[in-house]
Structure 1
Amino acid sequence: MDWIYAIIYGIVEGITEFLPISSTGHLILTGNLMGVPWPKEVKDAFEVVIQGGAILSVLVYYWRDFLKIRHIGSDRSQQTLWTGVLVATLPAVVLGLLFGDLIQERLFNPTVVAWALIVGGVLMWLIESRRAQPDVHSIEEIGVRKSLMIGALQCLALLWPGFSRSASSILGGMVLGLDRPTATKFSFYLGVPTLGGAALLNLIQGREVIFGEIGLLNVVLGAATSFVVAYLAIGWLLKFVSTNNFKGFAVYRVIVGAVILLLVGAGRL
């Protein structure tokens, strides 16, 4: 059954990683509903490692843009962009190194995730209803100060599993004046060092446990599935945000969060 679990995890990760609905929350829920027999530390590490597949899909989707980094020495816009990405990554790195294990041990459970989904959904609805006209229409225009603020807001997802890294960075960007497509694209870029680093660190630290319990082929299968599905999800989301707002996602989050609480109350989770 391990290969089936790996594929399902990969599909869920690929769909939810870049949508503002919390991949962590959905992976925790998926593991609980499937009754995956792996030890908790194995499940937790595997869920992070297969994020590497989703991150690879960003690199492939935007490969032409990422090649522009070759001109960073002479291109001021590239200097501003990548300085912003680096600065925005720092808060999550610091918090992750200091409190990552404690948060994973204490807060990775369905009830915490459910409330994060609900509260995040309400905030998403309010932000979409009341935000001012955006004044930033390109990721090269964001600047270091706003990038740092977006990076700090991204930490909501680290401190509160289920809130969603994508949701916190996209909504944070929108509050700071980015238009919806620009905030979404910057969230993709920001995920490369943030999630890529976490995936690599978990793979190095837990390689013996993960490969011993699940097997190398199943890890590769989960990551590959995540890559393919995430690549498709990126294209869909970019088209969606060009003509739609996030209120539908807000409603979805509240409904899923309420369902999880009901399942917990009924003893099913």
Structure 2
Amino acid sequence: MDAEEKIDKAVSWLREADGLLITAGAGMGVDSGLPDFRGAEGFWRAYPALKHHRMSFEDMANPASFSKMPTLAWGFYGHRLALYRKTEPHLGFGILRKWAARMQHGGFVFTSNVDGQFQKAEFDALQVAECHGTIHSLQCTEPCSSDAWPAHGFDPEISEATGRLTNEMPVCPRCGKLARPNILMFGDWGWVEKYSERQTSRLDAWLQAPQRLVVVELGAGKALPTVRRFSERHGPRVIRINPREEAIAPHIGVGIAGGAMEGLQFLDERLHSL
């Protein structure tokens, strides 16, 4: 199937669909200006202070970092929290909302991103499943309970030179121990997952309704294939949009090479060209 045939098939699926499952990986945020952590050099371009410490993304995205080097761990996550709060979602989010709104059963989001960009783009929070949690909630590092709470009152201040948090670190309101983001990290046995599980339960219930489901996958890479595998389980009408790793088995879907916003805008133009 050539590129034009793939586009035609994707457009026909979108026209016929009665439900839209949006699956999104880290590449979804790149067009909004969020950093791409691909490889150590990509990570260090985003966080040059951590190159001095020779810390990788895997080193920082690890619960042990909060006990071994808490100000550096909170420097990394605090910077991300501040960045995500000020980042505006790109135009592709609005296109997805528009597509979902015209379908009988609407849409639902499944994402490995922790940035909260779908909610910021005015997607209904009850229609979003964040399989790795969210940076906008905190939990105890112990944890002393299965509770998480909003990060609203925490405004991180980071030293650009050292990458460390310079203001007071957040603590658990229950026990007073250090708090951390409610995010699933590498080697993480202490993640409070009940909030993510509730979201997944709502998604599972929603998936029972559509008879002509279309899946639009955006920026989901092979390195951590959680989102890609989830998309593929819900074929055979998967539209995979990815700049480098768009390949997908023909009986599951079609692959379109390109960035998230570019691919969505192109498909939207084709949807309205006839």
Q: TM-score range by the shorter chain?
A: under 0.3
> Could you say which structure has the higher helix fraction?
1
Structure having the larger proportion of residues in strand: 2
Larger Rg: 2
TM-score by length of 2: 0.27
